[in-house]
A = this chain, B = another copy of it.
Amino acid sequence: MYERKIPLTIDCGLHLTREILNGKWKPAILNAISMNIKRPSEIGRTLPDATRRVLSAQLKELEEHGIIEKKIYPQLPPKVEYSLSEIGWSLMPIIDAMNIWGDQNRDFLEKVIAKDPKITKMSKSPCELIRRETSDEK
């Protein structure tokens, strides 16, 4: 065994939340699930730039962290549906706020972020926010 040299720090709530949301696609995944896009293949179609491998990994983490729940239908072909847990739903206002803030400041943000050499690809479609109409009655 080897003692970790760089221990990760979790102190105030901010860090806990950061940890939960830490993962390139996690916010988007949660957003998708909240919109009733619950099957892995659907989520994959919604996030075409995410690999299935990474998607699976982040879904698993979210599940292990208790943010989403997984329902497996023992069929062929297999069918799986994810849904937000109680805690997961309580996270949605934050996701929504991020979504809205980003859209509201889109023009500015795209400008300043475009300078960043790390960002090379930008597609501009705002996320759908139809959830309110559809599945918010949870």
Contacts and interface: CB of A to CB of B under 8 A. Distances in A.
Given A94-B94, A119-B8, A100 B65 contact: no
Interface stretch (A36-44, A75-83, A121-129): A121-129
Contacts of A115: 64
A6 B12 CA distance: 33
Nearest to A126: B12
Chain A interface SS verdict (over half) = helix
Quickly give the copy total for this chain.
2
Contact of A16 (B9, B93, B110, B118): B110
A99 interface: yes
A98 B100 CA distance: 15
A109 interface: yes
A16 B112 contact: no
Interface of A: 4, 7-21, 24, 27-28, 31, 49, 64-66, 87, 90-91, 93-95, 97-106, 108-110, 112-113, 115-116, 118-127
